[in-house]
Amino acid sequence: MPLPPHLFDEILHKALASDIRRRILLSLSKKDKYLSEIAAEVEKKPQTVNFHLNVLSEIGLIEGAWKEGKKYYSLMDKKIIGFISERKPIPERLHKPPHEIVADAMDKFSKRLDRIEEKLDMLLGKKL
């Protein structure tokens, strides 16, 4: 089930709060690259870059595909580069580790669903 647009926007902003992830996306805007190429360009260890690639992949900003024995990563939509290039500020409250980003988003989504369910119960209860 896809996330509602406002929830996806919040996750996106939180994901882009990381300088490393922004640098990875900018690196991939030039051409598809494999892990060690990206790690060298952003000057981080491959393990660190792999973690951030997984986060970006999970939220659908990039995808990986095996070619010639290496996994190459590419941008899903180049429009994200315009967002990053405009250097829109990301609120300090959104600077969190990825696992907290997902946990917060799911908690908010769950609370919204609970409120909807309560409203439906009230409406259905009145009609009985």
Q: How many domains does the chain have?
A: 1
pLDDT tens string 107-122:
888 888 898 999 888 8
Classify residue 4 by its DSSP letter: P
Residue 23, both tokens: 């640098």
Domain range for 22 is: 5-127
Q: What is the mean pLDDT of the chain?
A: 82
Whether 89 shows a pLDDT value over 60: the answer reads no
Query: In sequence order, what DSSP letters do the residues of 55-116 get, joined into one string?
Result: HHHHTTSEEEEEETTEEEEEES-THHHHHHHTT----GGG---HHHHHHHHHHHHHHHHHHH
CATH code: domain of residue 100? 1.10.10.10
Sheet holding 70-75, edge to edge: 33-34, 70-75, 62-67
Residue 4, both tokens: 């509602």
Provide the whole-model pTM.
0.61
d(C-alpha 42, C-alpha 63), whole Å:
18
Whether 3 shows a pLDDT value over 60: the answer reads no
Residue 64's DSSP bridge partners are 73
